[in-house]
A and B are shown apart, each in its own frame.
Chain A
């Protein structure tokens, strides 16, 4: 599975945990209100899940990704 697919999977799982309605998540998807709909608590979980999976995460590195693709780029750059 590619890094992009893994990250999309993580985001979908977080939405499922919160019983949010299913939505299309792709590389260009905006992460927050106007896009996938992650709120601050979901973003907190995303940060923790990414850190657990990959040992680092953009939020802990003081980077605020705007799209799914920004997260993928964070890992491809690091």
Chain B
């Protein structure tokens, strides 16, 4: 499957850059040669289960693709896991060989190979076509313990619509490769023959600098990423020539779409609904928050179907994950394949609007409050850089609505607090914030707000 995608790319544009980083630029042809050599070497390794604990890099991409070409299964671990966390993870997922970019300081229960020594590793006498290896990724864990989702490469490719890219189309990898959205980004680029820019840092400022330095034309990231970016960019004269902005991993508010459109008037703005378990499900480009309600009545044979049960979105996807890896981890999926997404929604007119995660619903005196409704009001206010709404225990109401927020420079806390109270008068009284905290930063993971 991966060889076939490379075959298409090599037939059309072998010398087009595939991966760009601050230290190197490699064409489709160069990457394919390295992947092919490495896949032959991996094929000869003992054990079927590989894993990598590496920062996003050209080497990591090559290992990922080569593992798929070899027919072996690869678990891509978050580089933020400490060495002390690794033994448990490696045992839980029966890993035989681990690739690292820094030698671990603890003894690990598998063979450990330094990625720097893999260049030039090859075996002879092996041919292509070793099948459809699996790739395993952990869920983001923004709301709890991560789970390990199993995918086949063919299912990942099936989620991408073939749309040959222009030679100048350059995507910024603003998600990490251990994250489903990052993996999806890699697959999208390979399928369509565009170029992928890798950045070493996960800071928004460095990502914006990389967009400039590499003449990036397309960026896919989270609403949280863009809220931080917009807080630092001038509305005009920012010098970023983006043709497309894709938002995903978190619900998008109408206010953010409007702000992006003002700042990037020439860019096509798309938001995607995807999850680690269901894969990429639908993309929307009509500049409205939420999803069109017509997706609840799909054509027969649609690859992705949606339904809403008790205000929760359910999805049945032909190309979602196979299941979770690891003993005792069972997908919240019924016998007919419907997956409970945990995303709470309300249907308003022709739109499905997101109200928050099932696990984040706040119970204020017996009334359910969905944090996203409040968060969208607050983040749209001038002076608010980023905000997180959550339930706080309270002796009188059980829980109250609390907000942590980062204010923009030039705005006083009193001014922002008054504006929040005033704007939230439009909500149900139970949903109004009763505890507002000004903080220096709000924790994020992969540019998503951490919500536990």
Contacts and interface: CB of A to CB of B under 8 A. Distances in A.
Interface of A: 16-19, 40-41, 43-45, 47-49, 52, 57, 59-60, 62
B421 A41 contact: no
A12 to B, nearest CB: 13
Interface secondary structure of A, over-half rule: helix
A6 to B, nearest CB: 16
Interface stretch (B48-56, B66-74, B376-384, B392-400): B392-400
B392 to A, nearest CB: 7
Contacts of B429: 18, 41
Interface residues of B, number: 17
Interface of B: 364-365, 392, 394-397, 400, 402, 421, 425, 429-430, 432, 434-435, 437
Contacts of B365: 40-41, 44
Given A41-B432, A47-B396, 5 more contacts: A18-B432, A45-B435, A47-B395, A48-B434, A48-B435
Contact of B394 (A17, A18, A47, A62): A47
A44 B434 contact: yes
8 contacts: A18-B429, A40-B397, A41-B430, A44-B394, A44-B400, A48-B402, A49-B434, A59-B395
A45 to B, nearest CB: 4
A49 B432 CA distance: 14
A44 B435 CA distance: 10
Given A41-B365, A41-B430, A52 B435 contact: yes
A50 B35 CA distance: 62
Q: Which of B392, B394, B397, B432 has the most CB of A within 10 A?
A: B394
B397 A41 contact: yes
Given A40-B365, A41-B397, A17 B392 contact: no
Given A18-B429, A19-B425, A48-B434, A41 B395 contact: no
B395 to A, nearest CB: 5
A43 to B, nearest CB: 5
